[in-house]
Structure formats: C-alpha cells, structure tokens
Amino acid sequence: MSTARRALVAGNWKMYKDRAAAKATALALRETLGSCEIPEVAVFPPFPFLADVSEALHGSAISLGAQDLHPGKEGAFTGEVSGWMLRSVGCRWVIVGHSERRHQLGETDEVVARKLRAALESGLDPILCVGETLQERERRDTERVIERQIESAFHGVGTSRGQVTIAYEPVWAIGTGRNATPEQASEVHKRIRDWSEDARVRVLYGGSVKPENVGALAKAPEIDGVLVGGASLEVSSFARLVAAFKSRD
C-alpha cells in the first residue's frame, strides 16, 4: 500500500450466530488468520459473545470490537452497554452510527456524536459509519449528506480525530448484493478525507463486499479496508477478503 495507513478488514457479525457458533468461528479465525498483521483484522460479535470471543482470540493478532455503545459511563439505562464495559471485556474497537441504527432505530446525528466522543473518552477506537440512501444518491445529495454526518459527528472532537476510522457504507449497498464500484467509493472516500482534516483517518468501504468483488476494491488506493457483514460470517469467505488486502501491500 502506498500510504502509511495500514489496511483494516473488519467483520460485523450483526445479530447472527449463537454462543457456540461465535466461539467456533473465533477459534477457526484464530487458526486461519491469527498471525495476520497486514491487513489488520477485527471482528464485531453481538454483545453476549464478546467475552467468549475475546478469550478465543487472546494473544492473536485479531482484535475485537462491539457493534454499539451507550454515550454514558454507567447509570440507570436498562439494556445499554458503555464503552468502559466494552474495554473491560477486551474490546479495542466500537462501531458508531451504523445505518441500521440510524434508519431502523432512530439514531440521530446528535446521538452519534455523543457516542463517538464517549468511545474516544473510554479509550476505544471508533469506526464511524456514514452513507447515503438510494433516494439521496438519486437526488445527488450524497456529498451533502455525508459531509453533514461527518461534521456533526466530529463536532467537539479535537486532536483525537486521527484515532477515528470512517466506514463509507452506502445504505443502498448494504445487504443488497449491489456494491459501490471502486470508482464510486473512491470519489466519496477522497471527499471524506478532506472533510476529516486529518491524513491519519482511515476510510473503509462497506456494502455487499464479497470474495468476488473485493479484488477490485482492494486495488483502489483510496480504500483503506472494508467493513463486512454477510461475507464475514463464514471463515472461508472472510479469509479471502483478508487475502485481497494482503496481496495489495
């Protein structure tokens, strides 16, 4: 890779797997990718399996993340989990502002901003998700929407913004089998880097990344890695995504 940014291949398991499957997947990942340093590899299991997966991956190069966090440290917030708790089970990463939370669970830009700050304050490395809907793209609103999502999330985040990874996940590409082309993603990634005002910020692409299309995405220098849903659930397909980023370095 030509830049100093190390590629990251991140698997978002969403609300899939039971405890036994989560453990088995983590152990198989460790076996296959446990010593992989380039690219960086991270997995994001559901909350109840974090501790088991943490134990299974302990001492390997694969790092652990959570799919969400509450903006506070502790308190009377039934059902919520804080960044501090995530750290205590071995998480390094946390996803903030995934479009499934924004669009299906009503998470606003303001809530996303509070979560981003909480993640940084608790010492987690956040992956901030941004992306336009199909309607917004068709209205040619992509840049305006993403600029708003980044500016609002970064409000009040000073020098630590270099610690943030941004995932460009167009909503129309998530789980649809229709990925953005490397050209479409690169165009947005370039703008995201400008708006972030920090050359250290990594920009991942997410949305229907599969072994069949990852080669072309991995060749694009603006794409610093991928955030993957469906194709991260099986070790064999996830390993092929990792291999694509290894071979470009």
Q: Spell out, one character per residue from 155 to 184, where the chain touches ligand 13P: x when CB under 6 A holds, - when not.
A: --------------x----xx---------
Identify whether 189 is a catalytic site residue: no
Quote helix, strand, coil % in the chain, to nearest 5.
Answer: 45, 15, 40
Select from 116-124, 143-151, 203-211, 239-247 the region that touches ligand 13P (CB under 6 A).
203-211
Which of the following is catalytic: 70, 98, 136, 222? Answer: 98
Half-sphere exposure of 124 (CA within 13 A, CB side): 32
State in angstroms the smallest separation of the CB of 17 from ligand 13P.
14
Nearer of residues 77 and 86 to ligand 13P, judged by Cβ? 86
Q: How far apart are CA 107 and CA 100, in angstroms?
A: 9
As a whole number of Å, the CA-based R_g of the chain is 17
Q: Which residue, 157 or 173, is less far from ligand 13P as judged by CB?
A: 173
Specify the DSSP element, H or E, that contains 104.
helix 99-104
50 burial (CB, 10 Å; 0-12 / 13-18 / 19+) is buried
Closer to ligand 13P at the Cβ: 84 or 92? 92
For the record, the structure tokens of 235 come out as 């070790």
The binder of ligand 13P chosen from 7, 8, 9, 12 (CB under 6 A): 12
- Closest to ligand 13P by CB, 14 vs 72, is 14
* 183 is known as an active-site residue: no
228 belongs to the binding site for ligand 13P (CB under 6 A) = yes
Options 29-37, 49-57, 153-161, 202-210: segment touching ligand 13P (CB under 6 A): 202-210
Task: Report the C-alpha gap between 237 and 244 in whole angstroms.
Answer: 11
Distance from C-alpha of 65 to C-alpha of 125, rounded to nearest angstrom: 9
Dihedral angle, C-alpha 65, 165, 149, 211, nearest 10 °: -80
Please identify which of the residues 40, 107, 132, 169 carries the catalytic annotation. Answer: 169
Selected binder of ligand 13P within 42, 227, 242, 244 (CB under 6 A): 227
Q: Which is nearer to ligand 13P, 121 or 212 (CB)?
A: 212
- The least CB distance from residue 143 to ligand 13P, in Å, is 21
Report the Cα–Cα distance between both ends of the chain, in Å, rounded: 4
- For the record, the structure tokens of 79 come out as 């059902």
Rounded distance between C-alpha atoms, residue 249 and residue 246, angstroms: 6
123 binds ligand 13P (CB under 6 A): no
**Is residue 11 involved in binding ligand 13P (CB under 6 A)?**
no
Tell me which residues are annotated as active site: 98, 169
Contact residues for ligand 13P (CB under 6 A)? 12, 98, 169, 174-175, 206-209, 227-231
